[in-house]
């Protein structure tokens, strides 16, 4: 079971999905409640936000016929920033492995960001192997040097902490915080 939670300025929506045998996500429950605790995507009243989340979750649980224990929570607002970055690592064993890809993405993400921001996503744009451009999936390719061009998305630490705090006060765990615009793009593409 996968649960998404969109904590918006006008309403809070919880959506429950199950993965089918074909790998597709089937929506089995949805809950919605007016939101009064946010302004421009940022929590301004903890108690009002908690109340709205609880109501949306209860409605989704009722429709899905299950108990919800954790959610993927959305984040948005004017505090969200982005930047491009670049990382380089040596390829171990002369063939690109999952570990090499993880290391180069980590290297690209090792940039200084303001103390009041946290990294939400590191989105690989392109990989280069021995200066050859154009690879989107370098696993298994031969070479000695792997580079990654990435797009990083950051958000205000306090905004993320307040979302997590509201969700946890509802007795739920947060699986991850996801940029709402990115979640929307995945759902339609």
- Give the CATH number for residue 73: 3.30.420.40
> Which of 75, 71, 74, 73 has the alpha carbon at shortest distance from 2?
71
- Tell me, what's the pLDDT at 87? 96
Total domains in the fold of the chain: 2
- Tell me, what's the pLDDT at 51? 97
pTM above 0.75, yes or no: yes
pLDDT at residue 50 greater than cutoff 70:
yes
Residues 85 and 150 in one domain: yes
- Tell me, what's the pLDDT at 33? 97
Residues 70 and 6 in one domain: yes
Residues 90 and 149 in one domain: yes
pLDDT at residue 189 greater than cutoff 70:
no
The first and second tokens of residue 114, run together, are 């303001």
Residues 58 and 95 in one domain: no
- Determine the structural domain holding residue 169 and report its residue range: 2-77+157-188
Residues 8 and 73 in one domain: yes
Kindly report the CA angle at 187 between 148 and 105, in degrees rounded to 5? 15
Residues 64 and 102 in one domain: no
Mean pLDDT of the chain: 94
Residues 34 and 87 in one domain: no
Residues 101 and 117 in one domain: yes
CB 146 within 8 A of CB 104: yes
* Confidence category of residue 40, pLDDT binned at 50, 70, 90: confident
**Mean pLDDT score, 59-88:** 96
Interval 138-148: pLDDT, tens: 999 999 999 99
For residue 23, which phi and psi values (nearest 5 degrees)? 85, 5
- The enclosing domain of 135 has a CATH number of 3.30.1490.110
Percent of the chain's residues with pLDDT above 70: 99
Interval 154-175: pLDDT, tens: 999 999 999 999 999 999 999 9
* Residue found by looking up tokens 């940022």 in the block: 42
Q: Alpha-carbon distance 58 to 66, whole Å?
A: 10
Residues 13 and 60 in one domain: yes
Residues 148 and 119 in one domain: yes
- Tell me, what's the pLDDT at 6? 95
Q: Alpha-carbon distance 183 to 25, whole Å?
A: 14
Residues 102 and 59 in one domain: no
* Confidence category of residue 115, pLDDT binned at 50, 70, 90: very high
pLDDT at residue 100 greater than cutoff 80:
yes
- Tell me, what's the pLDDT at 134? 83
Residues 27 and 67 in one domain: yes
Name the more confident of 36 and 47: 47
């Amino acid at each position: 079971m996968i649960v998404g939670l969109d904590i918006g300025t006008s309403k809070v929506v919880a959506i429950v999905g199950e993965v089918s045998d074909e790998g597709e996500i089937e929506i089995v429950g949805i809950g919605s409640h007016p939101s009064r605790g946010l302004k421009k995507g940022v929590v301004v009243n903890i108690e009002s936000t908690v109340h709205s989340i609880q109501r949306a979750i209860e409605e989704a649980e009722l429709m899905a016929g299950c108990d919800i224990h954790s959610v993927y929570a959305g984040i948005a607002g004017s505090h969200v920033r982005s930047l491009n970055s670049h990382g380089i690592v040596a390829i171990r064993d002369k063939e690109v492995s999952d570990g090499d890809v993880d290391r180069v993405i980590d290297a690209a993400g090792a940039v200084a960001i303001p103390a009041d921001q946290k990294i939400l996503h590191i989105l690989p744009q392109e990989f280069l192997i021995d200066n050859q451009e154009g690879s989107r999936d370098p696993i298994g390719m031969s070479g000695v040097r792997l580079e990654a061009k990435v797009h990083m998305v950051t958000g205000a630490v306090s905004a993320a902490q307040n979302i997590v705090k509201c969700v946890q006060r509802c007795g739920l765990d947060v699986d991850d915080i996801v940029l709402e615009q990115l979640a929307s793009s995945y759902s339609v593409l």
